[in-house]
Amino acid sequence: MAVTYTLISSSVLSSTTASVTFSSIPATYTDLMLKVSGRSVGNGEWFGSLRLRFNSDTATNYSVRSMTATPSVGYGEETSISFFYGAYAINGENGTANTFSNAEIYIPSYTANQEKPFSMSAAVENSATSQPFRTESASLWRNTAAISTILVYSDANFVSGSSFYLYGIKNS
């Protein structure tokens, strides 16, 4: 029986860290899935922006369309074109201590010779009435290269205990 869902690499932080990099990602899978449980410190906010950069590409090749649900404002939207992928998907330092977000990024056909669409689903619950939210996003990296490196960072720093798991999924 084929093994189609494989852990490629992981990182669980033991100290405050600015970023995590997955490099030398093999081209042997069909899709990639990145799971993040994160909390940020250093931006003075209830939440933080989870950011991705592929293959060290710093050009404005990333676009994102997000919708975010919160108890206070219902749901809103955000659209941007930038030099990184970013969406509100991690807990911030103002939230209840020890609360971490769940975020799942799915990148299909990451080696295909085409621009790369991907999705993200995130929940940021902090056991308080302020600023829990749910984010869904659609994104595009306008580059036809196979993804071999993923830089994960935020608008601040990730705290100890934040975890990052990169899985490869095969269709055969």
Chain residues in the site for other proteins (CB under 8 A): 1-5, 30-31, 63-67, 75-77, 79-81, 106, 108-109, 112, 114-119, 121, 136-140, 142, 169-172
- Pick 106 or 165: Cβ nearer other proteins: 106
> Nearest distance from residue 60's CB to other proteins, in Å?
10
What span, in angstroms and rounded, lies between the C-alpha atoms of 44 and 41?
Answer: 7
Of 99, 117, 98, 101, the residue nearest 109 (C-alpha): 117
CA distance 3 to 148: 21
Q: Give the nearest distance from C-beta 23 to other proteins in angstroms.
A: 24
- Between residues 19 and 79, which has the closer beta carbon with respect to other proteins? 79
45, 146, 150, 149: which is closest to 88 by C-alpha?
A: 45
Q: Are 126 and 91 in contact (CB under 8 A)?
A: yes
Q: Report the nearest approach of other proteins to the CB of residue 94 (Å).
A: 25
148, 23 in Cβ contact below 8 A? Answer: yes
Round to whole Å and give the CA distance between 100 and 89. Answer: 10
Q: Residue 30 CB, nearest distance to other proteins (Å)?
A: 7
Of 95 and 132, nearer to other proteins (C-beta) is 132
The residue (of 10 and 119) whose beta carbon lies closer to other proteins is: 119
